[in-house]
Amino acid sequence: MQNLHIPATSYSPQVDFDFARHQLSLRGESYPENASVFFAPIMAALDAYLAPLDHVRISVDVQLAYFNSASTKAILAVFERLNAAAVAGNYVTVNWHSDPDDDTIMEFGQEIAEDNPALDVHLLELA
Amino acid sequence: MSLDHFYRFQDLARQQSVVFYYTGYFSQAIVSAMGDALRQRLNQTDASNMQRRKLFSVFIEMAQNVVHYSAEHLSASDSTDQEIRRGALWVGEQDGHFYVVCANPVAREQVGRIRDKLMPLLGMSNDDIKQLYKQKLRSDNDAESKGAGLGFLTVARDATEPVEFDFIDEDGPLSPITMFYLKASI
């Protein structure tokens, strides 16, 4: 299926879903005016990509400097889908980056790991 | 307003250590541009990285609240994107703390709903607020909410003191519109 690439703006992240290589990344800032409008096509592409996968190694890289409350909810939904794919027999590694001064983003990475035990989550420092 | 009035206005802002003040129409583009300016301004202060991040978070949640919910809009009332609505926002510094205050007109019939969302947060510890946030994050969206319905909770979570709020009848008690003020200290 077609890869998904959305360039970053000052308030929305760069989305690079290289489905052919099974590498997904989110980088930058996320506070679009309407997070559900922004994330809807991302979720749709992710669902279409994940549905037929079996025994595939997927690598997810998240380097977000800031995300607002509505984006937080959408990001959680992304990881719920990935967790379901891992439960269904795929292997999903998540590299979750946060600034060492940012407890909120680091703790949210921990919560994602706790909520979605089928994911292999690594908490890393943002470079 | 004469130039003398503008001077007094500026002087009051200076005395109160207002770092940033905006009143008028809020759109996503304006919020984003103000956010960039605020970040740069905060880089010149003694604020810790943690303080800057929390302040930015409170600023964005409050400013986007105006874009989504202010009762006075230039955009169509039923739109959910590309909105432009009226409000005001202050960022100031006081005794080593920062505060963000936001004001926007709301329909009087919304007062009860806003009060019901904010009142329970006032008496809660930071840990309790975090727990409530976690719980709400995983529950279904409030039907009337355009975001995740987590804006006030995020503001309360990032504030170092209980938030303060008030409704001021600028156009008298019979007006269908009242001004909603929300303040958070960081």
Looking at this predicted complex, what is its ipTM?
Answer: 0.93
| pLDDT for the residue numbered A101 | 86
Within 8 A of A31 by CB-CB distance, chain B residues are 31-32, 35, 60, 64
Q: How far apart are CA A109 and CA A103, in angstroms?
A: 10
Contact flag A73-B134 (C-beta cutoff 8 Å): no
Q: Which residue has the tokens 């999903």?
A: A92
| pLDDT for the residue numbered A41 | 96
Taking the domains of chain A in order of start, what are their residue ranges?
Answer: 4-125
Within 8 A of A33 by CB-CB distance, chain B residues are 28, 64, 67, 81-83
Within 8 A of A101 by CB-CB distance, chain B residues are 48-50, 53
pLDDT tens figures, B19-36: 889 999 999 999 999 999
Q: Is the pLDDT assigned to residue B76 strictly greater than 80?
A: no
Looking at the complex, report in whole angstroms how far the Cα of residue B128 sits from the nearest Cα belonging to chain A: 15
Question: Could you tell me the pLDDT band of residue B4, with boundaries at 50, 70 and 90?
Answer: very high
* A103, closest residue in chain B (CA to CA): B50
Q: Is the pLDDT assigned to residue A87 strictly greater than 90?
A: yes
Averaged pLDDT for residues B3-28: 91
Question: Could you tell me the pLDDT band of residue B59, with boundaries at 50, 70 and 90?
Answer: very high
pLDDT tens figures, A10-69: 999 999 999 999 999 999 999 999 999 999 999 999 999 999 999 999 999 999 999 999
Question: Could you tell me the pLDDT band of residue B96, with boundaries at 50, 70 and 90?
Answer: confident
Whole-number Cα distances in Å, B39 to A36, B19, B25, B42, B59: 26, 11, 21, 5, 10
A24 touching chain B per CB within 8 A: no
Contact flag A73-B57 (C-beta cutoff 8 Å): no
| CATH 3.30.750, domain A4-125, yes or no | yes
Higher pLDDT pick, B70 / A121? A121
Question: What torsion, rounded to 10 degrees, do the Cα atoms B178, B63, B74, A30 define?
Answer: -150
Contact flag B150-A11 (C-beta cutoff 8 Å): no
Q: Is the pLDDT assigned to residue B13 strictly greater than 70?
A: yes
Within 8 A of B57 by CB-CB distance, chain A residues are 66, 68, 104
Residue A24 C-beta-side C-alpha neighbours within 13 Å: 22
Q: Is the pLDDT assigned to residue B138 strictly greater than 70?
A: yes
State the sign of the Cα–Cα–Cα–Cα dihedral A8, A84, A122, A109: positive
A114 touching chain B per CB within 8 A: no
How much of chain B is in helix, strand and coil states, percent to nearest 5?
45, 25, 30
Contacting residues for B66 by C-beta, under 8 A, at least 6 apart: B26, B85, B86, B87, B89, B102, B104
Residue A60's φ and ψ, nearest 5 degrees, are -120, 130
Within 8 A of A69 by CB-CB distance, chain B residues are 61, 147-148, 150-151, 153-154
Sheet holding A4-6, edge to edge: A4-6, A14-18, A23-30, A57-67, A91-98, A120-125
Domains in chain B with CATH codes = 3-185 (3.30.565.10)
Q: Are B72 and B120 in contact (CB under 8 A)?
A: no
User: pLDDT > 70: what percent of chain B?
Assistant: 93
Q: Is the pLDDT assigned to residue A119 strictly greater than 70?
A: yes
A29, A30, A31: best mutation site toward chain B, by most B Cβ within 10 Å? Answer: A31
| pLDDT for the residue numbered B113 | 94
| pLDDT for the residue numbered A8 | 97
User: pLDDT > 70: what percent of chain A?
Assistant: 100
